[in-house]
Structures are given as structure tokens and as C-alpha cells.
Structure 1
Amino acid sequence: MIIARRVAGLSTKRFRRLVFVGLLALAVPLSAAAQDQDPESTQEKEPPPGPDESWIISLQFSNDMFGGSDRHFTHGTRFSALSPDGFVPDFIESAAKALPLFPQDGNLRVSYSLGQDIFTPERIEDRDLIDDDRPYAGWLYGGIGLVSENGSRLDQLELNIGIVGPASLAEQVQTEWHRLLDITTPEGWDNQLENEPGIVLYYERKWRNLWETRITDLEVLDELAFDVTPHLGGALGNVYTYGAGGLTLRIGEDLPNDYGPPKLRPNLPGSDYFRPDDAIGWYLFAGVEGRVVLQNIFLDGNTFEDSHSVDKRPLVGDLQAGLAITLGERVRLAYTHLWRTEEFHEQDAPDQFGTLSMSVRF
């Protein structure tokens, strides 16, 4: 808790320094570990797995209460379903493989999602418009996408369509949630963004095991593995338009064939996809991402109507850390804590929030 408070009080410049220092601190012991390994063990590569015939259902719950605050991005939920390999109509598969976005040897899946995000200013007890803080806003959306995985690379293309404004039901959800918990009731929802249809197209590419090593014959663990997964991506639409890049480091036992736990956007990417090998596995993960933001409706305000807005920052950075556990061949549980640099000029400190996620294969 003390660490969280100190991070919340950092300036953007010092926060970015923390990101890079953290990566260096992680890289040094990993490099030393790699040098201690048998070269043959680090060069061995497991053959890619065959087609996966399981559906994967995921549920995510994000909230700023994990960071001890109630402001800005304050709550998000997402429910998703990922189809088995090859569960794609032939004409869609042919079109996907004709694009340079997907490899020819990738196994294609279809993803479906439904979610809601809620944003508020810091002083939710004020009924009047707060000019120097972000607008009240909600985003209710459904999504459909294509996922391609070939054992070493994951490509995701997803289209989200929904509604921003009172029709998103964000006011009702937050108000009832606060009443249930007997905490401060938000009073300023009359100042939220107006109703506006939203559309955004996301694309992400992640390279799994760009660098990896294993330590075997440990006294306590059968095997400890390390890997680094870089990613690039972006979004285009009236809700979000941005470019992003970063990387994620994992350390654990029986690193499953996945790309990190799923998380809400915009965020360091994870994936609904996972395919464990052993009965029980776990890993710690840490990552960084930088985004160049051209459009964020939750800061810029409505596209076609006058509304409350703030002066957004074009460069935003995220730092995350967490733990994922796989139970048997069917369940993955994860917690992610994220720190985000200031998103608008009037903001006085970075934000932080946590995400709980559960994915089940069947």
C-alpha cells in the first residue's frame, strides 16, 4: 500500500524513469540466469501444438478500488468467448490469410465479447460540472474479432461497436454499486457525455518467446522458465485512435502456451487464449507499454456535439505487474495491477487500478 501511494505521487517524468529502471532491474538477473544454463537446453524448441478444439470463456473485472482511489477509469467489465481452432467460415479464413496481418500457418479462431467501461472525475460528490477534470462517461460495447496463433506469434483483429453516453447505463451501474457498498454516491452524472454511437478497430501482434530460457533440476521447483513477449498494435475509430508498443516479461513454472491474461483496452495486451501443459502452473509477469494517442473520446468529448472535454496528453505510458495461475488444463486465474501516467494536462498524478480475470476452457 505504501508503494502504491508513492507511485501515485510521482510526476510523469519520474514515472517513466521508474518504468525503464524496472525493466533494467529485471533484465540483469535474467541475463545472468541465461548465462548459467546449458546452451543446448536454451536452444531446444518444443514443437508447436496441434489444433485446439476447446472454447475459452473469459470474465474480467477492473476497478480503481484496488489502487485505493475512485476516479478517472473507475470500473470495467468484459465477458468474452473464443472459439476452437478452425471454427471459422471458409470465406472469412480465406480473406484473413490473404491479408498481411495473419500468417499462413496460423490457426484461426473467432472471438466474441461484451463489455462496459466507466469514467468519472475525482470529486464525484460534486453535482456541478468540474471544468479541470475529465468528463463523466460510459462505454457499452459488443465485439467480434479474429485471432491467429501459430505457436510463436499471436495476431488479433477486433471490431468493437457500441454506445457512449447515458445509453451505456454507466450512471445506473455505478450509482447502484456505490449504494450497495454504502460509499459516496456519484452526483455529477448530469454532466456526462451525450449519446454517440462508437466504433473502433483494434489490431495487435505479439511475438511469444522472442527470448526465453529455462533453469532445470531446482531443489524446490522442477523447472523455472523466463520469457519476453514484445507487442505492437493500434486502434482506429471515433472512440480510440492510437499506436502502441511494449513488452511483457514472464517468470514461472510451466509457462503455459499463452500471451498473458486478458485485460481491458486501452491497456497492455493480454489474450483470452491459453493452453497449459501441466496440472498446475504459475507465473509472475511485468510489462510496459507506450501509446501515441490521437483520439480518446473520454477526454476529447463528443465528436458531433459540444460537450465537456479536457486537454489530453498525446503520450501515455503503462506499467503493470501481476500473477497468473493455471489449474489443470481448464482454468486460468490472474490479477494485474496497472499504473498509468497522466492522460490529460490538468491531471496531477498517475492513476492505478487492478484487474481480476478468469478464463475457462471447455
Structure 2
Amino acid sequence: MPKLIQKLNEALFVKNSIFLVFLLYSNFIESQNQQIDLTISNDKFVFIDRYYTSGLHLSYRKGLKQNFIFTKQEDNKLQLNITVGNETYTPTNLNSFDNRDFDRPYAGWLFGKLELGRIKKKSALFFAVESGVTGEESLAGKLQIRLHEFLNIGSRPTWADEIAYKWLFNFKASKIYDFQLNNKNSIQNQIEASLGSKDTYIMNNLVYFFGKFNDLQNSSRLNLVDNSQNKEFYGFILAGYKYVLLNTLIQGSPFDDDDPFTSISTQSVFKLSAGAVLKTKKNIIKLGYYFNTKETPLSTSHTYGALTFGFSF
């Protein structure tokens, strides 16, 4: 009899333990409101090597449950995004030390970005502050040279007369309107403005999404943390226009003249992009190709690819 009672107690303990683990796991799944993603951009995806030639961005995203600048209400969602990144810009002629051969300056950008978004059912508003450094301190030149040497790439970037060291900042705001056509088609109008010592511009994008995607407040279409855990698989096509007043990575700073070489920045830039996104309950994969018309009078149009991996927890 004692052995029977002992076995019953052991069975009850195992059952309760399994139930407790299940509850904890369920609570963990339901409470997932954070995401980390890594984006690798490179024009080697299209077998070229110029202009915006590579980028590396690491982002942390968190859904907020309390007021933070914006007021948290039942019909909206608040999200905080923190990004650190490194971007590399080069002229077409990588091997020359003579800037008369350049159609734009060498430039590197190492930065951090803090962004806050308020997302409603059919619209979203984002505010961001971005700050970083240019010049050798950005490490872009050293990284590109080492990478070309390691992979034995034929061209050897000289990084002659690159944009000098500067500490720059930007304030950005964007407004998104979402128009749901049906369950598998939607159109977004995205308006963005930037003011600062690095970039000053106004941009408008029109994006068409097709496929399986969640409602706006839980969709990766806006890089949002998904509380619903629903899968997404969709494509997108974007057409946009950017009016540029200042691009310090091309023009240099308007407040000093310590840059050895600068160029004129084209004011009107047109953009096209297309890609696909696959999101499971915890993971996301995004592949996109991005095209823009020339950004300086001597340059040409440019295309690059970007691959994003992310997971939520």
C-alpha cells in the first residue's frame, strides 16, 4: 500500500510539473513583445561595387505597455526601436587616389538611432533621433579594405580624401497611412521628413503589399513586434520620391570646409524596390532589392540588395 501511494504521488508530481511547465511556456509565448533583427545590405547582390555599397544594421524592438511620450490607449500600440549601424559609400573608381576620378566622395557612417512609434489600426506615426560619426572613426573604410583583402576581391578601395570626421545628428518623423483593399492586398502611403546636420529631406513612398499578412498593428510590414504570433508571407513593391536639401556624406558639412573632396547632391531622387517577407511565430526573413536614380551629377543610378534575419522573444 505505501508503495502504491508513493507511485501515485510521483505520478501526481510529474503531472503537476508538466502542467506548470506548460503554463510557464504559454505565458512566455503570450508575453513575447521583443524582437532583434540583423540587416545586411550590399550591392554585391547585383554584382556591382559602388555608391551605397554595404551596410550592417542591428535593431532591438520592444512593444511598450505604458505611456512613453505617447499616451498608451486601447486602440493604439506603442513600440520602441533601437538601432546601431554602419554604412559604407564609395565612388565608382575604387582604385584611384586622385579625387578628379571620383563621381562622389568616400564616406562612412557609424551611428545609433532611437525611434518611438504609435501605431493605430489604419495609420502609424514614428519619431526618431539619430546620431553618429563620419571619417576614419566610422571604421567603414578599414572594414571594407579588410573584407576585400580577405575575400581576395580584385578592386582595392583607396579611401582617398574621404569625408572627414564629424559628429552628426538627425531628427526624423514619418507618417504611414494603410489602405486595406482586401485580405491579401493593401497599399501604404509613407511620408517621411528629416532635419539635421547629416540629412535634410522630404520623402514620399507608395507601397503595394500582396499575400498573407496580419493587421497593421501586428505586421512586419512596419517592422512591428507581433503579439498575435500569426504567420506572414507576402511581397511588396515600392515607388518613391525624395527631395534632398542636404546630404553631408556627399556635400560635406555646411558648417565647415575641412573635407578634402565633396560633390553636389542631386535634389530629386526617385526610388523603386521590391521584395518578399516570410514570418513564422518567432522568426522573420526578408529579402529586398532597392533602386535609386543618381545622387550626384556625375554618378549613375544604383541598385543593392538587403537580407534581414530576425527573431522575437
Q: Residue 162 of structure 1 corresponds to which residue in structure 2?
A: 132
Alpha-carbon distance in 1 for matches of 2:217, 2:96 = 44
* CA spacing shift, 1:319–1:110, aligned 2, 3 Å: same
TM-score norm. by structure 1 comes to 0.72
Aligned residue in 1 for 2:36: 57
Equivalents in 1 of 2:159, 2:253: separation in Å? 15
Deviations 1:188-226 (CA, angstroms, capped at 9, x unpaired) = 213111100010111111122x13114xxxxxxxxxx11
1:332 maps onto 2:301 in alignment: no
Distance in 2, Cα, partners of 1:133 & 1:103: 50
**Residues of 2 paired with 1:228 and 1:122: CA distance?**
36
Shift of 1:124: 0.5
Range moving further from structure 2, 279-288 or 58-67: 279-288
Equivalent of 1:233, from 159, 170, 192? 192
Give the match's secondary structure for 2:99.
Answer: coil
Partner amino acid, structure 1, of 2:182:
T
* Contact 2:282-2:312 within 8 A present in 1 as well: yes
8 Å Cα contact 1:134/1:298 also seen in 2? no
Give how far 1:132 is off.
4.5
In the comparison of the two structures, how many residue pairs are matched?
Answer: 282
Q: Residue 314 of structure 1 aligns with which residue? A: 267
- Taking the TM superposition and a 5 Å limit, the aligned residue runs for 1:40-189 are 53-86=32-65, 90=67, 93=68, 95-97=69-71, 105-130=75-100, 132-189=102-159
Question: Which protein has the bigger strand share?
Answer: 2
Indicate if the aligned counterparts of 1:254 and 1:277 stay in contact, CA closer than 8 A.
no
1:339–1:52 Cα change, 3 Å: farther
Q: 1:211 aligns with which of 171, 180, 183?
A: 180
In 2, Cα distance between equivalents of 1:313 and 1:118:
19
Whether the 8 Å contact between 2:63 and 2:77 is mirrored in structure 1 is no
Q: 1:253 aligns with which of 201, 207, 212?
A: 212
Cα distance in 2 between the residues matched to 1:165 and 1:155:
33
TM-superposition CA deviations, 1:145-193 (whole Å, max 9, x none): 2111123222211111110111000111101111121103434213111
Alpha-carbon shift at residue 305 of structure 1 (Å):
2.4
Shift of 1:300: 0.6
Structure 1 contact 255–282 (Cα < 8 Å) conserved: no
CA distance change for structure 1 residues 278 and 360 in 2, over 3 Å: closer, same or farther? closer
Unaligned runs of 5+ in 2: 1-29
CA distance in 1, matches of 2:73, 2:208: 24
The whole-number CA distance in structure 1 between the counterparts of 2:146 and 2:173 is: 35
Equivalent of 1:301 in 233, 240, 252: 252
The code of the aligned residue for 1:352 comes to T
Over aligned residue pairs, what C-alpha RMSD do you find? 2.4
Pick one of 223, 227, 244 that aligns with 2:203: 244
